[in-house]
Amino acid sequence: MEENNKFFLSSIFKSLKVGSKRVFVIFIAIFIGTSVSSGFLGIYFDIDTKMSKELKAYGANFIITPQNGNYIKFDDYKKTIDKIDKNLLLGITPYLYGYYSFGIGNGIIAGVDFQGLKKTKPFLEVRQGSMNLSDFSQDSAFLGINLAKSLEAKINQTITITNPKNLVSKNVIVKGIFYGGDESDELMFVDISISQALDEEKIINYANAVINLNFDKISNLSKKLSNDLINAKPIAQISLSEGSMLDKIKGLMALIGLVILIISSTSVNTTLSSIIFSRKKEIALNLALGATKKDIVKLFGTEIAIITIFSAVLGAFSGYVLAQILGMMIFKASIDFRILSVVIAVLISLICSFIAAFYPIKKAIKINLADTLRGE
């Protein structure tokens, strides 16, 4: 029994050595297939976190409005946002609108939190001046391009804002002129404290936020935050579009991975068929000397298993390196290592390799013994 095992093992390693060029082709095919599978699986498991943060950079996905009327007391707003996990809250700004006199014309101002504005409206394009927070103070103003044109406003110009209802006035300094491509081009953004001082009330109209959660989790959070005074809800179009986009990206990655696995399996199938064809006489001789068809299947099955396990394990770990490269290129962040990705990639490669090897091995045990030994 021991001698048979030694002979069996020596036959395997001898055949691997003799057909080293073809074996190398199989090795490379499985290595590439597993590497891509492992890399894509790593990204697949991490994409919700990484891509979600990227998508959050395109603006607010959450809104807080009054349950009744047009205003929310500022204290109620603060109590509401204090209930949101600060690690999930990427940015938030309240809004308080008013129609005021600027001395040289009239227009709408929006009181905001400038730091939160940069997160909730990241697409604002600075045309003049700066929106660098270090340059801003409580009396800074940021003008939409259309309003700036109508007022003929200049950078560092002082503008006096007056509320015609109570004649309260505040001076602000123009620090930037922006283009937003929407209604904000008609507005002047000032600090929320300025607009509240002009109104003589600590109130807001609503607030926009960027929260690092998917639509379902934001919906659950909305229910917890909403009460008789506050109506919190996700901005459905943005949140749902984000989920839809992630699903499409995942689907595309799965499709690319599948195509690469099919190509790898086809390469294994073709190369193994070539190996078996070149070893037809060896197979026939083994059968003639008493080897069973089961022995032939065992021989080729073991060879494939050795090549696949070796190349798949190497490919799976190299896939982690591939995931890091893609992660830094796409998300500017590393991809977390998950042993699950390695295990799944190796198992997929094993399954695909044995499926690819099935037909060539089946063909090997059906050769005509007499014709093969005669060289026909």
User: Given this model, what pLDDT does residue 100 score?
Assistant: 92
Tell me phi and psi for residue 248, to 5 degrees: -65, -40
User: Given this model, what pLDDT does residue 6 score?
Assistant: 55
Find the distance separating the first CA and the last CA of the chain, reported in whole Å: 35
- Distance, in Å, from the CA atom of 49 to the CA atom of 342, rounded to the nearest integer, reads 20
Q: What is the 3-state secondary structure (H, E, C) of the chain?
A: CHHHHHHHHHHHHHHHHHCHHHHHHHHHHHHHHHHHHHHHHHHHHHHHHHHHHHHHCCCCCEEEEECCCCCEEHHHHHHHHCCCCCCCEEEEEEEEEEEEECCCCEEEEEEECHHHHHHHCCCCEEEEECCCHHHCCCCEEEEEHHHHHHHCCCCCCEEEEECCCCCCEEEEEEEEEEECCCHHHHEEEEEHHHHHHHHCCCEECEEEEEECCCHHHHHHHHHHHCCCCEEEEECHHHHHHHHHHHHHHHHHHHHHHHHHHHHHHHHHHHHHHHHHHHCHHHHHHHHHCCCCHHHHHHHHHHHHHHHHHHHHHHHHHHHHHHHHHHHHHHCCCCCCCCHHHHHHHHHHHHHHHHHHHHHHHHHHCCCCHHHHHCCC
Reference 47, options 237, 254, 234, 349; nearest CA is 254
Q: What is the pLDDT tens value at each position of the chain, 376 positions in all? A: 444 555 455 655 666 565 567 777 778 888 888 888 888 888 777 776 655 555 555 567 889 999 888 899 999 999 999 999 998 888 899 999 999 998 877 889 999 998 888 888 888 888 998 877 666 788 999 999 999 998 889 999 999 999 998 999 999 999 999 998 888 899 999 999 999 999 989 999 999 998 888 778 888 999 999 999 999 988 765 555 566 666 777 777 777 777 777 777 777 777 777 777 767 777 777 777 777 778 777 877 787 788 888 888 888 888 888 888 877 777 676 777 888 888 888 888 888 878 877 777 777 777 666 655 555 5
Q: What is the pLDDT of residues 93-114, one digit of tens each?
A: 999 999 999 887 788 999 999 8
User: 10 Å Cβ neighbour count for 309?
Assistant: 15
The CA-atom distances, in angstroms, between 104 and each of 161, 166, 174 are 10, 19, 14
Contact at 8 Å (CB) between 372 and 281?
yes
Instruction: Provide the whole-model pTM.
Output: 0.59
The residue type of 269 is N
User: Given this model, what pLDDT does residue 319 score?
Assistant: 85
User: Given this model, what pLDDT does residue 239 score?
Assistant: 52
> Side-chain half-sphere of 26: how many Cα atoms within 13 Å?
29
User: Given this model, what pLDDT does residue 159 score?
Assistant: 92
The residue type of 361 is I
User: Given this model, what pLDDT does residue 78 score?
Assistant: 93
User: Given this model, what pLDDT does residue 241 score?
Assistant: 58
Residue ranges of the domains in the chain? 2-54+244-373, 61-234
In the block, residue with structure tokens 């007022």: 151
User: Given this model, what pLDDT does residue 11 score?
Assistant: 59
User: Given this model, what pLDDT does residue 263 score?
Assistant: 78
Longest dimension (CA), the chain: 112
User: Given this model, what pLDDT does residue 112 score?
Assistant: 94
User: Given this model, what pLDDT does residue 372 score?
Assistant: 58
User: Given this model, what pLDDT does residue 50 score?
Assistant: 59
